[in-house]
Copies of this chain bind each other. A is one copy, B any other.
Amino acid sequence: MTDKEPITMDDIARLARVSKPTVSRALSGSPLVRPETREHVLAVARQYGYAVNRNAQKLRHKRTNTICVSIDYGSFRKNHITDPFIFDLLAGVSEALGELDQDILLCSPKHNGFDFLQQVYLSRGADGFIFLGQGHRENLLQQFSSSTAPFIVWGAKKKNNRYCVVGSDNYRGGMLAGNYLLGKNRRQILFVGDISHPEIGFRRRGLEDSVARCPEPVTVDVLVLNSFSFESALASANHYLSRATGTPDGVFAYSDTAAMAFIYAFQKAGFAVPGDVSVVGYNDLSSAAFFHPAITTIRQDTYLAGELLVKKLMRLVDQKKTVSGFIPTELIVRET
């Protein structure tokens, strides 16, 4: 049981009684071919189920029309996806890339380091890269920025970044959350998240700045979380509640997942949400809407994000200039 010999352009040329270049032109829609010739060639190609070998095509072209997408698998743990937001983003990016007829090369966890990615570029496996999740991959990204590969990152802009970033307006997200909590008369606010992540640092700063405008005294405490997982957030929450001197009356969590963990912990500890504590999350995961109580959160449109990431990356691939950009953030008020 062997594969039938695949049909080549030569075969189609012979069958259509034209030359190979004519077949090539007809198939690529070149104007340099008579309409009748084109129709005839296309008909023969269709009849024999011919498809241009894309590897030969890519070999001849400089462009591969492939974009490599690297996910921050640091947010993963074996057997457990800890924050699904990154997949919302992937869906947005995949949609935008599809619209431009770009192939998507998805990196697996094993092939997510600098060497492999660099190799993909040098071996003409992709024209450019999209990094979903900055997380703690600063080193990788800095390394990458001294290579010539075009790439763009979902995350936040840092001063020493030499690469372009698309992200939600984290600072404004923080301000929105702060204003919301202040409006609920919350005065002892807890910020939850790893502020060494640039994105999360901005959210915290936005929170602090909104609080600074409040005429009454407000405290902002920061609880650093070192993992993206719910379990770890829950452990931190329990630990915090067990030793906190005063209980916060407002929480701004860096993700909906963390918000859920804190709500859970507060409820178990006998506090009512939102009676005793108001909580604001981030990302507007679909599960945030139907958590009980439904979580007030900051939304960022992942389809817009995908579009912007792709648009900017394609400029870089085309050797044009581009700059970092932001997706607007929006406060979604629900029950907490």
Give chain B residues whose Cβ lies under 8 Å from the Cβ of A123. 51-54, 57
Q: Which of A17-25, A83-91, A183-191, A199-207 contacts B (4 or more CB under 8 A)?
A: A83-91
A290 and B54 contacting across the interface, CB-CB below 8 Å: no
A247 contacts B by Cβ under 8 Å: no
Q: Is A158 an interface residue (CB 8 A)?
A: no
Interface residue A332 (Cβ < 8 Å from any Cβ of B): no
C-alpha spacing A62/B88, complex, angstroms: 35
Query: Which chain B residue has the least Cβ–Cβ distance from A68?
Result: B103
Q: How many chain A residues touch B (Cβ–Cβ < 8 Å)?
A: 70
Contact of A79 with B by CB under 8 A: yes
Contact A84 B87 (CB under 8 A): yes
**Interface segment, one of A105-113, A135-143, A212-220:** A105-113
CB neighbours of A225 from chain B (8 A) = none
Report if A132 contacts B (CB, 8 A). Answer: no
CB distance B51 to A119 under 8 Å? yes
CB <8 Å contact, A122 and B286? no
CB–CB A301/B95 < 8 A: no
Max chain B Cβ within 10 angstroms of own Cβ: one of A54, A69, A97? A54
Asked if A245 is at the interface of the complex by the 8 Å CB criterion, the answer is: no
Using a CB-CB cutoff of 8 Å, which residues 223-275 of chain A contact chain B?
A: 230, 234, 257, 260-261, 263-264, 267
Decide if B264 touches A292 in the complex (CB within 8 Å). yes
Select one of B54, B55, B69 contacting A106, CB under 8 A.
B69
Residues of B within 8 A of A94 (CB): 106, 108-109
B289 touches A230 (CB 8 A): yes
Distance from A78 Cβ to chain B, minimum over Cβ atoms (Å): 7
* 0/1 interface trace, chain A 53-87, chain B, CB 8 Å (1 if under): 11111110010100001000000101111101001
Per a CB cutoff under 8 Å, which of B87, B97, B148, B290 touches A234? B290
Contacts of A287 in B (CB 8 A): 84, 230, 257, 260, 285, 287, 291
What B residues does A54 contact at CB under 8 A? 123-125
Query: Within the complex, which residue of B90, B103, B291, B302 is in contact with A291, where a contact is CB–CB below 8 Å?
Result: B291
Q: Taking the complex as formed, is A104 at the interface, i.e. its CB lies under 8 A from any CB of chain B?
A: yes
Interface contact B103-A55, CB-CB below 8 Å: no
Partner of A87, one of B4, B81, B230: B81
Q: Give the CA-CA distance A314 to B80 in the complex, in Å.
A: 25
In the complex, chain B residues whose CB is within 8 Å of the CB of A82: 286
Given contacts A53-B124, A81-B87, A94-B106, contact A292 B267 (CB under 8 A): yes
Q: Which residues of B contact A106 (CB under 8 A)?
A: 69, 94, 104-106
The answer for the CA separation of A145 and B125 in the assembled complex, in Å, is: 29
- List 5 A-B pairs, minimum CB-CB distance, nearest first: A98-B108, A51-B122, A98-B110, A55-B58, A51-B123
**Interface CB pairs A-B, < 8 A, 6:** A6-B124, A54-B123, A54-B125, A55-B124, A98-B107, A257-B286
A50-B122, A51-B119, A55-B55 given; name 7 further pairs at CB < 8 Å. Answer: A3-B62, A54-B124, A95-B108, A95-B109, A98-B111, A230-B290, A285-B287
